[in-house]
Amino acid sequence: MYNKTPVSNWADSYAISECNIGHNGALHFAADPVNAAARVLSLSAVKSKDIYDHNYSIMIGAVGDFISVVEQGVYMYKLPVVPKDTDVFTIERHNSDTIKYCLNGEVFYTSTAKSTADLYFVALFEQKDSFATHILMNYDICADLTIKFNKNATEAAVESVAKAVSYQGTARTLSVSVTNNTGLKSAKTLAIKAQNTRSIPVLSGTIPRVHDSTLFEKCSDLSISHEGVCSGLEVLFNTHYPQFTSFVVREINNVSFKADTRKISYNGVIIGTGNTVAEMAKQGLIITFNDNAIKESVEEVTKAIGVNFQVDAQDVTLSLVNYNGDKSVKTLTISTPFG
């Protein structure tokens, strides 16, 4: 515990879930360091807009200037890192009474306050410039979602709400039906084939032993197979000594790249972000794709990457990692032209 000073109560801007995670589940959300104001996201046994009631919370300061664990208004731990766009925080409990706080799947703090109670999601925002994205809540209670509309609902509103419903998990199909207030059910139901967001991306193809500007244009059989959404999918170009190898995102095949923002677009739509030049010198090139990315655009961006080897460079390995941290079952190696 690093500070017992309680935090203030932001009662004017908040959100509370109706569902809980049960005994086994987790709350995931993105770091969003561009936030202009602080926010608190919690799992709590009490559905309250008062942070002093919240059992387990992560507070992120304005523009990511601090990240703290807060439990019932008391600061318990401060994470000594600056958050990045790709960072994902988790508050989780897995078949136990122990609550753990994670950054990108790695535990950075374990609560000493045990709990087996049902925990609800609560979000508090300091002001209107604060927000939270990519919020996911996994729980072990299996049930149908039923939405009951009141007299204020219009046809357009009902359609918009229905389209806004998302799903996750290992279900293979989902069905949608409509029932009116007399119990009459719709004559037709829709079946939705559920995407398997847990699948491991598979990379295949042959990379030739060349090192010119058309490197990936010559790799005609390069392909990426990934069941489910591409959001959070990472394409990595790794090497033992990245300072001896440089990468460039070439503007070919409808791919464009803004060096200042590191944003990558396909057909004019931003589909991902590349790490900075300084980061590439330490870890190689990492491209993280967003909700707009599809299989075709991921492949075209991958093929648009150019590699420049220096004399002391090592082989470069191309691999994939999905949102869950599962790595591709196959990697491709680009051999250096020196030897």
What is the residue-level pLDDT of the chain in tens, covering all 339 positions? 455 445 555 656 778 887 778 777 888 888 888 887 888 999 999 888 888 899 999 999 888 888 999 999 899 999 988 888 888 899 998 878 999 999 988 899 999 999 988 888 888 888 777 788 888 876 544 456 778 888 888 888 888 887 777 665 545 567 788 888 777 877 677 776 655 555 678 888 877 665 555 556 667 788 888 766 688 888 999 888 888 888 888 888 899 999 889 999 999 999 999 998 888 888 899 999 988 888 889 989 988 888 887 777 788 889 988 877 788 888 888 877 765
Q: What are phi and psi of 82, to 5 degrees?
A: -100, 125
Question: Which amino acid belongs to residue 2?
Answer: Y
Half-sphere exposure of 189 (CA within 13 A, CB side): 11
Q: Measuring CA to CA, which residue among 11, 91, 98, 110 is closest to residue 53?
A: 11
Q: How far apart are CA 186 and CA 149, in angstroms?
A: 16
Distances (CA, A) of 180 to 23, 147, 154: 34, 12, 14
pLDDT computed for residue 286 by the predictor: 93
pLDDT computed for residue 43 by the predictor: 93
Q: What is the dihedral of CA 248, 252, 257, 263, to 10 degrees?
A: -110
The answer to whether 119 and 93 are in contact (CB under 8 A) is yes
Q: What is the dihedral of CA 195, 197, 201, 202, to 10 degrees?
A: -40
DSSP secondary structure code for residue 96 in this structure: S
The answer to whether 235 and 249 are in contact (CB under 8 A) is no
Pairing label, strands 316-321, 332-334: antiparallel
What is the distance of C-alpha 17 from the center of its chain?
20
pLDDT computed for residue 4 by the predictor: 44
Q: Which residues on neighbouring strands pair with residue 74, listed in sequence order?
A: 6, 71
What is the distance of C-alpha 294 from the center of its chain?
15
Q: Is the pTM of this model over 0.75?
A: no
Q: What are phi and psi of 257, to 5 degrees?
A: -145, 130
pLDDT computed for residue 5 by the predictor: 47
The answer to whether 41 and 17 are in contact (CB under 8 A) is no
pLDDT computed for residue 195 by the predictor: 55
Question: Which amino acid belongs to residue 143?
Answer: A
What is the distance of C-alpha 152 from the center of its chain?
34
Q: How far apart are CA 337 and CA 339, in angstroms?
A: 7
276 CB neighbour count, 10 Å cutoff: 11
pLDDT computed for residue 94 by the predictor: 80
